[in-house]
Structure 1
């Protein structure tokens, strides 16, 4: 698996992760800061995807593209074989990313001033996108026990009673890497059905599941439990194609699809670009072996950090997640404030991690670390963290 050992220079490639830290962290010169923050990988995309893009590039004509049945077949086959979720081609609508899809769903099914429910700590666009559309955020804080998270369903139901229109579910959860149990997912469905709340299930991390765990698509259970569900999936997180921009919104409900399609017409939204379509088909039909190797690398990298960092830095605790390539580091035992911790990491360790409050106040005392990078970089990141704490 040498392809996952290669350290690739990503500077001067317009990489947000490697080239935009001055703006994100407010530092004058980030040239020597090691970025382990935003969730994209430092690995090359799978070779079959690169070959598919090269073939499309070599054709030389890049006119308007459309989503053909081959694209939908690839998605449908992947969801069936990987997650046991049987879908139909006509359930699918394509978008340029999961975050734009979230924005579309919020705009389509709510109005200004409506309440949107999220469970915190959670992925920042769950706050930001509805907020920019002048919707109100209702926060239900997850129950946390020594870094392990679960849903407080008494609080969840009380939140739903606040005239909530949409609940945005992170499944698997980012940043904590939790795969929700079948019982938890069924309870979510029953409660949201009871209060007539549409569920938007963000399942972009569904393929990045560590050994011993299995992702359960919410919509698969909804076939028994009922309820209104729109699921967002994408090959971009799985195969490191975020800059190519492709996502799929899936719902069995024709009424919901028609409303989403009308929104697309209203915005003049075009289909995926030629490279995105080619990449999607290749990723879902040729790259499962690459993904299996990737999951081994991620698990190994996580084990290294978990075995090394808490032993070297008193007050640090890390639970190995079920999913994602992100570690949620608990530093509450150090006694440091978030401001003190970030100052040490950035200015002494020259290491960029994400502060927990980026994911809501419920994330205070935690840091998010991206370990989807060669082990040599992971080791350097750990060394820099230790240096920052000396």
Structure 2
């Protein structure tokens, strides 16, 4: 099936954050809203159909995650990222930012130090600070237009600070780096050897452009697998952020138990009806849509690059 990504959808009456909050945030509402990471493409029809079908049932009582939900995640991660996970290693979380906020609460205490790698998505700083943790910056290096991890700087930070956690952005938002295997292995070694838990935000993993390969942090080494919490979601991938359909993958049983012991009493691991239905439909039937979307996005990037080279070469 060929999807129409040229179709322009009017979102002005849909209470979209990136449109409806423009004036509040920027003082005017005539701007191109590039400040929130959601797309203006229609989500895959399979997701819409699954939500309609579930709605037709007419009863919206408490619902437990079911086999089809877990299998859709397991199969997607295996087929798309060569990442093998098991049902008991997956838990629903109500958002990736909330997921690492819960990890901060579960594994650190007030005034503990948490490493982030700026320039990075602003909640990486805001959330730990709001939870009264101390943020330690390990800024990325910028050389010849390409960002990289400052490993020597990281080692220096760890030598001088008793850090408890590193929040990794993989792939990195906003610099766009898809970290390679060697980089992730080195990071895993440093953190494991210094007892620093890695919380890996991989929400953009499925939006890796053609020619690049996302490597889930937990797949690069045994140390990475045993010392990490991976946070993922179909939300950015399929433009369903408003449904809130994130999940955590935790291989180490002790880390998983501690995380679940934080979530369960607060009922933070309970998925909504629509999150379950949307996730299952997205991962079971959304691959063709995603491949076409990525090809379309790549053409947009090519257009911008060629336009700038021709008309604004000084940039």
Q: 1:281, CA displacement in angstroms?
A: 0.2
- Distance, in Å, in 2 between the alignment partners of 1:178 and 1:69 is 34
**Shift in alpha-carbon separation, 1:224–1:79, aligned structure 2, 3 A:** same
CA contact (8 A) 1:192 1:227 kept: no
Which stretch shifts more, 218-227 or 69-78? 218-227
**Shift in alpha-carbon separation, 1:245–1:4, aligned structure 2, 3 A:** same
CA contact (8 A) 2:109 2:133 kept: yes
Q: 1:270, CA displacement in angstroms?
A: 5.2
User: Could you list the per-position Cα deviations for residues 53-87 of structure 1 after superposition, in whole angstroms to 9, with x for gaps in the alignment?
Assistant: 00011111111111112111110111000000111
- Distance, in Å, in 1 between the alignment partners of 2:258 and 2:285 is 33
Q: Counterpart of 1:145?
A: 143
Q: 1:227, CA displacement in angstroms?
A: 4.4
- Distance, in Å, in 2 between the alignment partners of 1:146 and 1:244 is 39
**Shift in alpha-carbon separation, 1:170–1:296, aligned structure 2, 3 A:** same
Which of 107, 110, 113 does residue 112 from structure 1 map onto?
Answer: 110
How many residue pairs are counted as aligned between the two chains? 313
**Shift in alpha-carbon separation, 1:226–1:47, aligned structure 2, 3 A:** closer
CA contact (8 A) 2:114 2:167 kept: yes
Q: 1:315, CA displacement in angstroms?
A: 4.4
Q: Counterpart of 1:349?
A: none
- Distance, in Å, in 2 between the alignment partners of 1:106 and 1:50 is 34
Q: Counterpart of 2:39?
A: 41
Matched, 1:274 2:249: no
Instruction: Give the TM-score normalised by structure 2.
Output: 0.96
CA contact (8 A) 1:190 1:227 kept: no
- Distance, in Å, in 2 between the alignment partners of 1:266 and 1:156 is 36
**Shift in alpha-carbon separation, 1:314–1:90, aligned structure 2, 3 A:** same
SS in 1 for 2:241: coil
- Distance, in Å, in 1 between the alignment partners of 2:180 and 2:219 is 13
Q: 1:33, CA displacement in angstroms?
A: 2.2
CA contact (8 A) 2:101 2:127 kept: yes
Q: 1:132, CA displacement in angstroms?
A: 0.7
SS in 2 for 1:188: helix
CA contact (8 A) 1:160 1:192 kept: no
Q: Counterpart of 1:81?
A: 79
- Distance, in Å, in 2 between the alignment partners of 1:43 and 1:225 is 35
Q: Which runs of 4+ in 1 moved over 2 A?
A: 222-227, 265-270, 309-316
CA contact (8 A) 2:115 2:163 kept: yes
- Unpaired segments of 5 or more residues in structure 2? none
SS in 1 for 2:138: strand
- Distance, in Å, in 1 between the alignment partners of 2:264 and 2:223 is 32
Equivalent residues in 2 for 1:265-344, closer than 5 Å: 265-269=264-268, 271-309=270-308, 311-313=310-312, 315-316=314-315
Q: Counterpart of 1:65?
A: 63
Q: 1:311, CA displacement in angstroms?
A: 4.1
Give the root-mean-square deviation of aligned CA atoms: 1.4
Instruction: Give the TM-score normalised by structure 1.
Output: 0.78
- Distance, in Å, in 2 between the alignment partners of 1:226 and 1:84 is 14
Q: 1:22, CA displacement in angstroms?
A: 1.1
Matched, 1:5 2:6: yes
Matched, 1:176 2:172: no
CA contact (8 A) 1:171 1:205 kept: yes
Q: Counterpart of 2:186?
A: 187
CA contact (8 A) 1:186 1:221 kept: yes
- Distance, in Å, in 2 between the alignment partners of 1:60 and 1:226 is 42
Q: 1:2, CA displacement in angstroms?
A: 5.0
SS in 2 for 1:93: strand
**Shift in alpha-carbon separation, 1:35–1:262, aligned structure 2, 3 A:** same
- Distance, in Å, in 2 between the alignment partners of 1:207 and 1:169 is 16
- Unpaired segments of 5 or more residues in structure 1? 317-390
- Distance, in Å, in 2 between the alignment partners of 1:57 and 1:130 is 38
